[in-house]
Amino acid sequence: MADTGANSAGLGFLERFKSYCRTPKGFILVAEIVLSLIILICYAASRYGGYTAVAICEMVFAIIFLIVFTMELDKQFGIINWVWSDLIRAAIGACVYLITSLICVIRGAGDGALIAGGVFGLIAGLVFAYDTYTIFLQIKSSRQHMAAPNDDRV
């Protein structure tokens, strides 16, 4: 899952972080974290602060996976299937952001911060959905590569 490509055994955390953030997966995770932070600020500034839990949870989960993939802990802890865990995290994030954001945009008449949080939430839902799609493609391609070769003999 860590797409760094280079040998990062001797690098410090900051160098690993910078190199991982330049990968497509790292960029998506950073975008998810930044969007979740913006949504958190918007929801906290609105009259209805109850939606902040969604942004906090998704931001924390994205930070955890960013640290795991940056430090290549996914290769050290093989007992957890990190790709499937990331797929589930991204799919739930997309669904939850899309649902709560639609509720906030529809309900937020007169509350500009709630509407702004809803609009950013819709964008975040699309980013999480794109992340889900890319992870799904990765799982699909890895299954095709791991498939046993067919033996034509009967």
150 confidence band (pLDDT: 50, 70, 90): low
Domain holding 99, by residue range, is: 13-143
Q: Per the structure, how many domains does the chain have?
A: 1
The whole-number average pLDDT for the span 54-81 is 91
Q: Is residue 4 in a domain?
A: no
Q: Is residue 149 in a domain?
A: no
| Cβ pair 33, 59 in contact under 8 A | yes
| Cβ pair 135, 143 in contact under 8 A | no
Examine the pLDDT at 7 and tell me if it is beyond 60. Answer: no
Q: Is residue 85 in a domain?
A: yes
Give the model confidence (pLDDT) of 10-33 as tens digits. 578 888 889 999 999 999 999 999
Single-letter residue type at 66: L
Q: Is residue 59 in a domain?
A: yes
Output the CA–CA distances (angstroms, integers) from residue 70 to 5, 22, 88, in the order listed. 12, 11, 19
